[in-house]
Amino acid sequence: MSSELSPPVAQILRGEHTPDPASVAQLPPDDSAQLAAIARGESRAALRVKALSCFTGTAEGGELFRAALEDRDADDTVRAAGAILLSRTDGTAETDLLAALPDEPSAVVRHKIVAGLARIGAEQAVPALTDMLDDAPADLRDHVAFARSVVAYRLGRTGFELPGVRPEDVLPAPAPPQPAEVGQADPAPAGTASKVAADVASDNYGLPLDSSPVTTVRCGARTYAVIVNADVFAPYSRLERPAVAGLVASRAPVDGSYHTSMIVLCHPDGASGLHIAVYHPSGPARYVGSGTRSETGIEFELAAVRGPGAVETTITGVCGRDGFTEFAFTTGRALPAKAPTPVEE
Amino acid sequence: MGWSAWIPMSAPSGGIVGHPASVARSDGITNIYVRGTDNALWQRAYFGVQWHGWGRHGDSMQLTSSPAVASMGIDHEHVFVRGADGHLHQKFWKAASGWSPYFDLGAPPGGFKGSPATVSRNSQVANVYVRGNDDALWQLPWFNSIWHPWARHNDGMVLASDPTAGSMGPNHEHVFVRGTDGNVHHKFWQAGPGWSGYFNLGAPSGGFRGGPSTISRNPQVANVYVRGNDDGLWQLAWYDNSWHPWGRHADGAITAEVALASTSAQREQVFARGLDTNVWQRWWVPRIPTIDVNLISVGRDNFTAANIEQMLNSLTATGQIYCQADFNVGTVRRYVISAADAGALEIIDSAAEAEQLTDGWTVPNAALDVFVVRSMNGADGWSAVGGPCDKNAGGSVMTGTVVSLNGDLGNSGNTFAHEIGHYLGLDHIADADNFIGNNGSSNSNTRILAWQGDLMKKHCMVVHI
Ligand SMILES: [Zn+2]
């Protein structure tokens, strides 16, 4: 860290993992001003991005993130940070994101803006994303369409249902003699629900985190927290429209923090049927299947979707407003991942 | 193989003049002596399992040469310098009494050039060698508890450098010089037969600058080091009762003769002046386990030359941190993922995105996949803790580590070491100055504990030669 930084500022920029939100709030005014100056105009992008992250959840964050998003003279990593952090603040970030999107030159910043609009879920994003769909370059088009659907599902709007996965792209169920790993699902240990709620608060896709039940699922070395959307299951009539049925947050082994890793979207399929799919927040489908709706909950069965590194999986269960009454998770063979290209030296 | 990375040892303000001198008077204590730009003697000490800061000797001696140092026992060290009067001056340290004042040991009758060399082949004997103004080898011996007169070696050798001296046992001493032919020449003394004639040991291809340096870490091994005309470190080794060919150390540019020390029969330390005129260190132990790394640039289209440089330097910094615990980064292979293929994952904004990257991409070999993104939000890196060696285990654990170039080189160097450390099994610790310490807020720390190195070395991906 540069020598001109005050020791508390240097210290605060040193966090390796998720920053402690309290640390910025406790800074003396001069140091706080120095950190804000770095977040506002530091020429070294890599340092400015770090400083911006420190203002997550603070009152001055919104203005700093907005300035970063709009700074066309800055590195694309600065504008990406602005888009990501702005979409995780309360307020009216969708206006700023929508204003920045059409002229943003960087593909990855456009991705982060589109992901941010999906995260915020504001109604005005639907027509704006529709407008840009035709002009979007190929690599962005799927993401734009997915983001628009996420917003629509969240609002219970029909007309933007995501297409089903082709049958040949659904992986078969894990079968003997392939050794199968069976995931364990338990009600979350005491304190986990509030920890998960705090960690994914700015990445909640509209779920009422204080009332939504949390179940932990262990698979190998991974721990997932599955959050069921309490609003959607009560009343069950909400399931007659497209809905965000839940979230999956994965637990980072290095510090135990939880991060939204998948969104569960469902829409009606026939009189009492449901189409259910689980997506990464940036679009690719991970699991797909169906459910049957009754007055007490939905009974569902999901399978993995073909893709690099995808793993044959069967997930079955019964879910109600209090969470899962049944849950089983079995995995089998993994498909090969993609191989990065070697650099000739 | 067996060599650590070059580790920066800094320098007194302004760098150093000439070459360093070093000695290990016991298995836990090493001292480096240098001539500062203020012409004072400066010292940096390793004891209590760590290096301490540079300290200036508070005497008024103005050095006109690089220092020489040797030890006549575990509680003794002495330093020789040429003063402004052209004489050799000696001061010594004893555990009981601390530093002595300087003693004037005079000079050969015609004076001497350059810097002295010294060696103690046992606790009763010390010898100082210099290149006289007549370009002959001159010797000042200590035995029977007194210094004896300066003596000229009338062997016909015309020196073209300062001499260096070493010992392979209590009754053996040898001297290496550069001759006017640009080759290293060697002669040795044994109790009984006395001095041998000179043997021509040749030179690195391309020749070398200045004079040689030598050390014997045990009675079967001697090494001679020189600075090649290419500024690389070249080494000539004696073992199995013969001299082996000159070999070049692949990395590092040096700008003076090197200093050598050995804390045990199987450990050899080299101290060199770098291009920055600071002191750098590397060492040899028989086997340093390594972790091979696949360095994967995510969104390579947008990596600038500066990004690539920072990425490579960050991995070098990682090797430097690990080397302190006799562990190192091994073979590094580079890979890329295009920005189009990376899509939204070109910049990582959560541990979940980092997982998505390692789930979707794997280099099909046995090395550790280190995914490098230009920027990350909310963290500098994410990793499994004790990650798998089977990289097809995706879905149940992260099969690689994801690091960013956030911050400056000090930050990203730590990030790489910290996240690879997680993958190799390390958890955060509380120590405020540890590379994975401060409960995770360790960014830019470089300290590592021996047990952390031992734990990483047990990981199944680590290569033991
Ligand atoms: Zn960590």
pLDDT above 70 coverage of chain A, percent: 95
Residue A264: CB atoms within 10 A of its CB come to 25
Helix (H) or strand (E) holding A142: helix A138-155
Q: Which residue has the tokens 């190799």?
A: B424
* 3-class SS letters over chain B: CCECCCEECCCCCCCEEEEEEEEEEECCEEEEEEEECCCCEEEEEEECCEEEEEEECCCCCCCCCCCEEEEEECCEEEEEEECCCCCEEEEEEECCCEECCCEECCCCCCCEEEEEEEEEEECCEEEEEEEECCCCEEEEEEECCEECCCEECCCCCCECCCCEEEEEECCEEEEEEEECCCCEEEEEEECCCEECCCEECCCCCCCEEEEEEEEEEECCEEEEEEEECCCCEEEEEEECCEECCCEECCCCCECCCCEEEEEECCEEEEEEEECCCCEEEEEECCCCCEEEEEEEEECHHHCCHHHHHHHHHHHHHHHHHHHCCCCEEEEEEEEEECHHHHHHHHCECCHHHHHHHHHHECCCCCCEEEEEECCECCCCEEECCCCCCCCCCCCCCCCCEEEECCCCHHHHHHHHHHHHHHHCCCCCCCCCCECCCHHHCCCCCCECCHHHHHHHHCCCCCECC
Yes or no, beta carbons of B362 and A337 under 8 Å apart: yes
> pLDDT in tens for each of the 465 residues of chain B?
588 888 889 999 989 999 999 999 999 999 999 999 999 999 999 998 788 999 999 999 999 999 999 999 999 999 999 999 999 999 999 999 999 999 999 999 999 999 999 999 999 999 999 999 999 999 999 999 999 999 999 999 999 999 999 999 999 999 999 999 999 999 999 999 999 999 999 999 999 999 999 999 999 999 999 999 999 999 999 999 999 999 999 888 999 999 999 999 989 999 999 999 999 999 998 888 999 999 999 999 999 999 999 999 999 889 989 988 989 999 899 999 999 999 999 999 999 999 999 999 999 999 999 999 999 998 899 999 999 999 987 678 899 999 999 888 888 999 999 999 999 999 999 988 899 987 777 677 888 999 999 999 999 999 987
Q: Which pLDDT value is given to residue A1?
A: 39
Whether A63 shows a pLDDT value over 80: the answer reads yes
Mean pLDDT for A196-216 is 92
Q: Which pLDDT value is given to residue A19?
A: 65
Could you give the maximum distance between any two Cα atoms of chain A, in Å?
A: 67
By mean pLDDT, which of A60-74, A89-103, B222-236 is the weakest?
A89-103
Going from the Cα of B422 to the center of ligand 1, the distance in angstroms, rounded, reads 7
Interface test with A, best of B345, B358, B380 (most A CBs within 10 A): B380
Q: Which pLDDT value is given to residue B146?
A: 97
pLDDT above 90 coverage of chain A, percent: 59
Is the backbone of residue A62 left (phi > 0), alpha (psi -120 to 50) or beta? Answer: alpha
Listed by number, the residues of chain B in 296-315 with a beta carbon closer than 8 Å to a beta carbon of chain A are: 296, 299, 302
Q: Which residue has the tokens 């958890």?
A: B427
Yes or no, beta carbons of B345 and A257 under 8 Å apart: no
B443 touches chain A (CB under 8 A): yes
The minimum CA-CA distance between A56 and chain B, rounded to whole Å, is 8
Interface test with B, best of A2, A5, A12, A17 (most B CBs within 10 A): A17
Q: Which residues of A touch B307 (CB under 8 A)?
A: none
Q: Which residues of B touch A44 (CB under 8 A)?
A: 408
If you average pLDDT over every residue of chain A, what do you get?
89
Going from the Cα of B436 to the center of ligand 1, the distance in angstroms, rounded, reads 6
Tokens of A287: 């699991």
Q: Which pLDDT value is given to residue A177?
A: 60
Residue B239: CB atoms within 10 A of its CB come to 12
Going from the Cα of B413 to the center of ligand 1, the distance in angstroms, rounded, reads 13
Whether A127 shows a pLDDT value over 70: the answer reads yes
The minimum CA-CA distance between A181 and chain B, rounded to whole Å, is 9
Whether A286 shows a pLDDT value over 50: the answer reads yes
Q: Which pLDDT value is given to residue B394?
A: 64
Yes or no, beta carbons of B350 and A345 under 8 Å apart: no
Q: Which residue has the tokens 């004891």?
A: B47
Going from the Cα of B440 to the center of ligand 1, the distance in angstroms, rounded, reads 5
Q: Which pLDDT value is given to residue B260?
A: 98
Which residue in chain B is spatially nearest to A249 when comparing CA positions?
B352
User: pLDDT band at A2, cuts 50/70/90?
Assistant: very low
Mean pLDDT for A294-319 is 91
User: pLDDT band at A21, cuts 50/70/90?
Assistant: low
The minimum CA-CA distance between B291 and chain A, rounded to whole Å, is 19
Yes or no, beta carbons of A220 and B344 under 8 Å apart: no
Whether A15 shows a pLDDT value over 80: the answer reads no
Yes or no, beta carbons of B356 and A280 under 8 Å apart: yes
Q: Which pLDDT value is given to residue B252?
A: 86
Going from the Cα of B437 to the center of ligand 1, the distance in angstroms, rounded, reads 8
Q: From A241, A310, A266, select the one nearest A164 (Cα to Cα).
A: A266
SS percent in chain A: helix, strand, coil, step 5: 35, 25, 35
Listed by number, the residues of chain B in 344-373 with a beta carbon closer than 8 Å to a beta carbon of chain A are: 344-347, 349-353, 355-356, 359-364
Asked if omega into B108 is within 30° of 0 (cis), the reply is no
Which residue in chain B is spatially nearest to A11 when comparing CA positions?
B441
Q: Which pLDDT value is given to residue A57?
A: 82
Q: Which pLDDT value is given to residue B174?
A: 98
The minimum CA-CA distance between B445 and chain A, rounded to whole Å, is 9
Q: Which residues of A touch B331 (CB under 8 A)?
A: none
Going from the Cα of B418 to the center of ligand 1, the distance in angstroms, rounded, reads 6
Listed by number, the residues of chain B in 83-112 with a beta carbon closer than 8 Å to a beta carbon of chain A are: none
Q: Which pLDDT value is given to residue B411?
A: 86
Pick A254's closest partner by Cβ from B341, B347, B382. Answer: B382
